[in-house]
Amino acid sequence: MINLNTERLIYPFTAIVGQEEMVLALILNAINPRIGGVLIQGERGTAKSTAVRALAALLPKIQVIRDCRFGCHPRIPSTWCSECHQRFIAGEKPETIEKATPFVNLPISATEDRVVGTLDIEKAIRFGLRAFEAGVLAEANRGLLYIDEVNLLDDHVVDVLLDTAAMGVNIIEREGISFSHPARFMLVGTMNPEEGTLRPQLIDRFGLSVSIKSITDLKRRILILKRVLDFENDPYRFIKTWENCEKTLSNRIVQAQNMLPRIKITHENLEMIAEVTSQFKIEGHRADLVIQKTAIAHAVFNNRTHLEPSDIHVAAQLALPHRLKRKPFDQPFELPVLEDTVKTIIYPERAAKLQEILNDKRDPLTIQDPHNECGFYIVG
């Protein structure tokens, strides 16, 4: 939650104006980090960093085993590090404490050793596992790992981060000695495409991707100005004003996380997902899995234990744009084409109501509601 005693006051997540795709992609990854993270592409000054930091401040505290440097979950032994397992086998009962959800900002100058950690070979031979010096991946376990200007980070380091995010474990091997620890985290990368891009192979590894632009709507620009000025003039009062909205969203995320094991997936759901990815000739099966996980997160966020076509629709919009195959001199793929094609595939009534569906230009991601003091509702 928001802590007014921290030195750096964080602009509330629910006070962000617009940028609905980015907001939703972050929320869904917070519900299920196994979606694979978010790549946010956009020009300067479009609230990319603000949104990421705000989400981290919004997330609830987590329970961890006291004195565990990896923040192991006390009630899920299958995810414990080797040190927690050894203490448990020795008869030590884990003591539980609460701490804030970790937020780690990775500098673009970070080396591989700083990211994965280091093993002191001599000490490892003489004293065992505690010769491991934890890196960024250990600090980020069960939290949020943020990389600003991810396109400027060394490609090999990005590869390591994405591999670890996918596996949920960090494995370090040096001179025949290995050490592993849990590393489950939500990965968020932001970048300005004008300053260079990532290799296609790396972009594909991010679960979701959103491209954002400056808001041009006059009323929204005025609202942004007003809120930013209010925050700068009296941040404590502004944060207090949005406290209920922050708590509401935080509780909704926790509720959705608890509902994940109860979700029911039908063969028809899987058929829809496969049909969408086949239609766009998506290589591999990563996109199918990401769409499935994202659709599930969207369903439970809307308090449902079953998938509806709209869940798959939203998931496809967030998971496919950065995976659409283009040749070097092809024109950029137009998102309205993606939108129309997805609509015709997903909705069962497409044959009878094709034109009506194509004419419906409402954004399926969010609907602004004047009666909602927290800014937006996510539709189901």
The residues assigned a catalytic role are: 286
How far is the C-alpha of 145 from the C-alpha of 106, rounded, in Å?
A: 7
Residues in contact with 175: Cβ distance below 8 Å, sequence separation at least 6, in sequence order: 121
Q: What's 324's DSSP letter? A: S
CA distance from start to end of the chain: 26
Closest CA to 21 of 353, 335, 318, 345: 318
User: In terms of Cα–Cα distance, which of 202, 70, 62, 73 is closest to 136?
Assistant: 70
Of all residues in the chain, what percent are helix, strand and coil, respectively (each to 5)? 50, 15, 35
Q: How far is CA 21 from CA 27, 239, 276, in A?
A: 10, 23, 20
- Beta bridge partners of residue 171, listed in sequence order: 180
- Which residues, in sequence order, are CB contacts of 209 under 8 Å at separation 6+? 38, 39, 40, 41, 203, 318, 319, 321, 322
Q: Do the bridges between strand 169-174 and strand 177-182 make them parallel or antiparallel, or are there none, so unpaired? A: antiparallel
Polymer length in residues for the chain: 380
Provide the pairing of β-strand 38-42 with 186-191. parallel
Q: Is 364 helix (H, G, I), strand (E, B) or coil?
A: coil
